[in-house]
Amino acid sequence: MTGETVSSWRAGDLETIRFALGIPVIAASIGAIGRAMAELERDYPAGIAVAVGCLERIAAIDQQLASSPVAAEPVVIKTSRKGAAGPVPAELPKRKLDVIEFATELLIEEVATEYALPESTGPSLAAQRRQQIEALLLVLPGLRVWQPQAPPRFQGLMERS
């Protein structure tokens, strides 16, 4: 080797890789991660620094996702109110004809409030995490098969009638 700095794995990197990729804890998957790490160290030692950098960024994103509130309180955007223009009379009309002549809409109070949820950073952080996982899988491609598969969005049986 010529004056290059050779990176090596840290003690907890195997577990960090397993957690970041969502790989289940079984002997075969742990062995596969260990083999992928040894293969990278043997064939491309400079790639270890890339993988460790990806793991650190994934850990930082996970920490941000854990610290962000799950459900944000809605923010009031607009409030409008309709109500009586003056005091409500003590004696309200009792006959049908009196009610028609009396403007009853002045007695009704109507309140409308519009709410909005504040912008959440969750989706953008999740996209950044997926990008870092893809970068990690470029360095350790053999681990892609150990990731749990997402269930199909739409699933069902087609029936002909």
pLDDT band at 119, cuts 50/70/90?
low
Report pLDDT for 149: 79
Q: Residue range 64-70: average pLDDT?
A: 74
First vs last Cα of the chain: how many Å apart? 71
Contact 37, 9 (CB under 8 A): yes
What is the Cα 41 distance to its own chain's centre?
Answer: 33
Higher pLDDT, 36 or 65: 36
Contact 135, 101 (CB under 8 A): no
Contact 140, 36 (CB under 8 A): yes
- Residue 87 DSSP symbol: P
CA-closest candidate to residue 1, choices 45, 67, 64, 50: 45
Decide if pLDDT at 140 tops 70.
yes
